[in-house]
Amino acid sequence: MIPVANPLAQYLAHRGEIDGAVRRVLAGGRYILGPEVEAFEAEFAALIGVRFAVGVASGTDALVLALRAAGVGPGDEVVTVSHTAVATVAAIELAGASPVLVDIEPAYYTLDPAGLEAAISPRTKAVIPVHLYGQPADLEPILAISRRYGLRVIEDCAQAHGAVYRGRRVGAWGDLGCFSFYPTKNLGAFGDGGMVVTDDPELAGRLRLLREYGWAERYVSSLPGYNSRLDELQAALLRVKLRHLEAANDRRREIAARYIEALAGTAVEPPRVRPEATHVFHLFVVRSKARDRLREFLAARGVGTAVHYPVPVHLQPAYRGRVRIAGPLAATEGAAREVVSLPMYPELTDEEVETVIGSIRAFGGDARD
């Protein structure tokens, strides 16, 4: 079976370097927040083009700590999308605030700026645009609206390491940018990890306190904090992978270009790339009105698929009827019915890509209802 994602293939591709980093850390005697984390933070900040990067324990924690550092908490509303990984919405509630969910732009699957403006209330404190599937949200209007209403912008970049919008990396546009290093992400650890980036020294300072019990000085908390630290092993392994990120994203784009070219004229609808963006194709998501039959057909031919995401957050049992939605979320609910993710990772061979394409072509016109 050709899987949708394959972190093992990336380990095997860089095995020597990765094994070397593991031995270096194990023999180094520092295991949490040491020199590897510091070096990785500096290298990651340089890639994104910001002054500060603060390593934390996961992408979810990155969002929670970013919200807390920005002063968002109980009584505040945070606007984001319902078509996202549930972590985006969970993080808002973990910070004590209330999510307000808006619709997506149907062509790009990212936060609709018009929906943002309509969702703003006197309690709104922040907005979290999600760069879903590796595609930047339309940051320029989102930032313009946010400035007008005095909102903090916290980018959810968990699926978009290295993606570019109008010449600048995502994560460098908002007040804070949040990344996940979950193993299947474009930059993936061998366990959990996350990062918050910012240009603001005050926010960076608060993040460093929050991630370790609010300690300014060891064993003395200056504010109530968390335990959300990045460990040395993950940081060392991520430093190896970071060196290969641009090449890996290039290969993802190459595969995407071949898929898009080959799927024209078939019954599945390929993704669209925003003209002002460089997409990093964390996922390659197509649409089909016959999704379930398509998935079965592909599985029988050894082609794995997944659905990101089958149930919008506002319709999930944990949130349904409880979380505020700003108007009908028609594009969100439409996407949830039709999206399907095809295999996408840098180590896919050209032959495997052609197998995926050939299988979709064999499904043929069948996909039209």
Per-residue binder mask for ligand PLP (CB under 6 A), 122-141, x = binder: --------x-----------
Residues 6+ apart with CB under 8 A from 163: 131, 134, 135, 136, 157, 169, 170, 277, 278, 279, 280
Residue 180, interface with ligand PLP (CB under 6 A)? yes
Nearer to ligand PLP, 179 or 297 (CB): 179
- Closest to ligand PLP by CB, 182 or 363: 182
Q: Where are the beta strands (DSSP E) in 183-314?
A: 194-198, 215-217, 220-221, 277-278, 284-287
Stretch that binds ligand PLP, among 21-29, 52-60, 205-213, 311-319 (CB under 6 A): 52-60
- Binding span for ligand PLP by CB under 6 A among 55-63, 72-80, 95-103, 261-269: 55-63
Residue 88 binds to ligand PLP (criterion: CB under 6 A): yes
Q: Is 156 in the site for ligand PLP (CB under 6 A)?
A: yes
Buried (b) or exposed (e) across 122-161, using 16+ Cβ within 10 A?
eebbbbbbbbbbbbbbbbeebbebbeeeebbbbbbbbbbb
113 binds ligand PLP (CB under 6 A): no
Residue choice 59, 171, 188, 270 for contact with ligand PLP (CB under 6 A): 59
- Cβ proximity to ligand PLP, 336 vs 360, nearer residue: 336
Q: Is 331 in the site for ligand PLP (CB under 6 A)?
A: no
Answer for the pair 150, 124: CB distance below 8 angstroms, yes or no. no
Question: Do the beta carbons of residue 3 and residue 343 sit within 8 Å?
Answer: yes
A 10 A CB-CB count for 221 gives 13
- The owner of tokens 């609808």 is 269
Question: Looking at 6, 10, 159, 249, which residue binds ligand PLP (CB under 6 A)?
Answer: 159
Contacts of residue 64, defined as CB under 8 A and 6 or more positions apart, other chains included, come to 91, 94, 95, 226, 228
In the complex, the smallest distance separating the C-beta of residue 129 from ligand PLP, rounded to whole angstroms, is 10
Least Å from the CB of residue 64 to ligand PLP: 9
Residue of 33, 37, 87, 242 that binds ligand PLP (CB under 6 A): 87
By CB under 6 A, is residue 195 in contact with ligand PLP? no
In one letter, which amino acid is 144? Answer: A
Site residues, ligand PLP (CB under 6 A): 58-60, 84-85, 87-88, 130, 156, 158-159, 180, 182, 192, 194
